[in-house]
Chain A
Amino acid sequence: MRKVFIGIAFMLLLTGCIKRPWSPTPTAEHFAPSQNVRLTLPEGWMLNSREDVLLVTRDGILLQNVIVAAVHVDDELKYTKKKFKPGMLPIEQAGVIHDNMASNPNRAAFKVLSKKPAQVAGHQAFRSEVTYKDDDGLRYRGILYGFMQNDWFYLVRYMAPERHYFARDKDQFENIVRSMRLVV
């Protein structure tokens, strides 16, 4: 029986069915080595730190989610064939990330609502607000901050259903952005 159990566990590991677990957000500053950032996360939220993205939510990712991602200039984006290039101005970086979102087949009616210069972790950045509808016609609204350091583009994004949730957790997101700093 024990052998069977170990065999099943091994198979699950091989097939990737066992995923990294969610954990409560730490009270101290959090270090995400894959994203090269340190940041303070809101208390009582849940955190999933993965290789490709740091994901934070309070009530579940469909109700609100914050992601932090570091994209190398050689990385391909999921929905557009455009790429980031070293030295791009924030206004250009915003164009690339917005076009990637606009080309996502699972989202309809994507719109950029605003686009402004900003500062994140001491870098010139952009701040934009966007909206789209998901498969079920539910309208989401989001805030994006993005900036580049050398060959890396950093994205911090908040997304939530426009009704009720977006406004409720927006300030928490802005606090995360303000706390963010790059390690290297």
Chain B
Amino acid sequence: MNPRIGMLLVTVALLAGCASTNIQPVTSGAYEQLPEEKRINRICEEEQQRLADSEMLYDNAKLTRYVNTVAMKVLPEAAKREVDIRIIVINNPYCNAFAYPNAKVYVHTGILARMENEAQLATLLGHEMAHVTHRHTLRQRLNMRNKAAGLASFKATLGSVPLVGELSSALGELGTMASVSGYSRELETEADNVGFEWMADAGYDPREAPKLFAHLMAEMEAEKREEPFFFGSHPKLADRQANYQTCIAARGDVTGGVINRKGYEKAVAPAIYETARLDLKAGRYAKAVNGIQRYLKIYPRSGRAHYLLGEVHRQRNDGNDLKKAIDFFNRATKLDRKHAETYRSMGIVYMSAKDNKAARRAFQSYLKLAPPDAMDREFIQEYIRQLK
């Protein structure tokens, strides 16, 4: 054979990614784990252990139970027989979710805090679980023409993208692919289509599926596209929204499905609060305010949410922020008289404003309420001495 023709055939075969075309979903009836898949799963377990050791998992049994219940509603019976899906919540304020091929799906508190209802959660989980059941990691890896280069680029992405926050230090090769790099356009579209059918078949309102992208896209723009893979890459957000609209049109009558906004908000309220707290740490004040206000709609009489809102104003300290901070702290103390940190923050504001009497009173309340080993105790004692 002419060597040039030989080279051309090899190139065409590589470009076509022919190795992956025979990989069937786990529900195909002829599912058998390949040796490569077993190897991938071993890597998954190592990476997941590292994640567990990183102290970044969100320890809230009620919330974890809720997201797993929704996942089980969405996943078809045939898939349940083949894979043991588990949803795990990660304490991270960025909007992201990703699936490992060994059926562990990780969802950030950040995305739970931003979604509006259970139907949107069902869309998200459907998408991620479809990556598992349709063996996308395996297909993507078999399609990689140069594995070494591919792996190197994952690590490079890991090092340079702060999008997943603290998590980036704990993610390995597969986690980075799933959470930051994402899959090919074809595989993402397949996951969208399959996930959509599942959520709709489970009785959720299909019209909520594209909304998942709509309001998150608005947030991404406000944050100058800080969000990682799930909402930021292949295929582009607008294309994915359009794809969901096509799915809705193809399904015909889509009225009357479950949305469950109230139940969802109640279930994810702790994640909303936690995300607002982390946003405040990162100085993302507007996001923190949005989160707290949303939490206050669910629990309007929450003292600690009013305290957190006061903290946003105290720490931002622009214009009349300090006055607003005191207003929120006052409301917080009326709702929860025993929340020591509120008095500490009030004292700091009064001390900065040179209102020594009010500062001393607030600090004394803090000392009364705070535990004996409270970290700020020595500071506050010192400030009381200075105020005298």
Q: Which residues of A contact B (CB under 8 A)?
A: 79-83, 85, 87, 89-92, 95, 99, 102-110, 112, 114-117, 126, 133-135, 137
Cβ contacts under 8 Å, B376 to chain A: 91, 115
State whether A117 touches B54 (Cβ < 8 A): no
Please pick, from B170, B285, B351, the residue contacting A108 in the complex, using a CB distance under 8 A. B170
A92-B348, A115-B376 as given contacts; A105 in contact with B162, CB under 8 Å: yes
Q: CA separation between A26 and B304, bound complex, in Å?
A: 52
10 residue pairs bridging A and B, Cβ less than 8 Å apart: A81-B285, A83-B283, A89-B351, A95-B315, A99-B282, A105-B165, A107-B169, A110-B166, A115-B375, A115-B376
Q: 14 new A-B pairs (CB below 8 Å) besides A81-B285, A103-B282?
A: A85-B317, A92-B315, A92-B348, A99-B281, A105-B162, A105-B169, A106-B168, A107-B169, A108-B167, A108-B170, A109-B55, A109-B56, A126-B379, A137-B50
B383 contacts the other chain (CB 8 A): yes
B378 contacts the other chain (CB 8 A): yes
B323 contacts the other chain (CB 8 A): no
B221 contacts the other chain (CB 8 A): no
Please pick, from B170, B285, B348, B378, the residue contacting A89 in the complex, using a CB distance under 8 A. B348
Q: Which residues of B contact A (CB under 8 A)?
A: 50, 53-56, 162, 164-170, 281-285, 315, 317, 348, 351-352, 375-376, 378-379, 382-383
State whether A133 touches B54 (Cβ < 8 A): yes
Q: Shortest Cβ distance from B208 into chain A, in angstroms?
A: 31
What is the interface of chain B mostly: helix, strand, loop, or mixed?
A: helix
State whether B284 touches A81 (Cβ < 8 A): yes
State whether A102 touches B352 (Cβ < 8 A): no
A89-B351, A109-B56, A114-B375 as given contacts; A133 in contact with B281, CB under 8 Å: no
Please pick, from A81, A107, A133, the residue contacting B282 in the complex, using a CB distance under 8 A. A81
Q: CA separation between A99 and B315, bound complex, in Å?
A: 11
Q: Shortest Cβ distance from B175 into chain A, in angstroms?
A: 13
Please pick, from B56, B281, B315, B383, the residue contacting A103 in the complex, using a CB distance under 8 A. B281
Q: Shortest Cβ distance from B91 into chain A, in angstroms?
A: 11
Residue of B nearest to A87 (CB): B352
State whether A79 touches B282 (Cβ < 8 A): yes
Q: CA separation between A87 and B352, bound complex, in Å?
A: 8
State whether A108 touches B379 (Cβ < 8 A): no
Cβ contacts under 8 Å, B54 to chain A: 108-109, 133, 137
Q: Shortest Cβ distance from B46 into chain A, in angstroms?
A: 12
Please pick, from B53, B285, B317, B379, the residue contacting A91 in the complex, using a CB distance under 8 A. B379
Cβ contacts under 8 Å, B169 to chain A: 105-108, 133-135
State whether A105 touches B282 (Cβ < 8 A): no
Q: Shortest Cβ distance from B223 into chain A, in angstroms?
A: 11
State whether A116 touches B378 (Cβ < 8 A): yes
State whether B378 touches A80 (Cβ < 8 A): no
Q: Shortest Cβ distance from B287 into chain A, in angstroms?
A: 10
Residue of A nearest to B53 (CB): A137
State whether A105 touches B375 (Cβ < 8 A): no
Cβ contacts under 8 Å, B170 to chain A: 108
Q: CA separation between A99 and B311, bound complex, in Å?
A: 13
State whether A117 touches B379 (Cβ < 8 A): yes
Q: CA separation between A81 and B287, bound complex, in Å?
A: 12
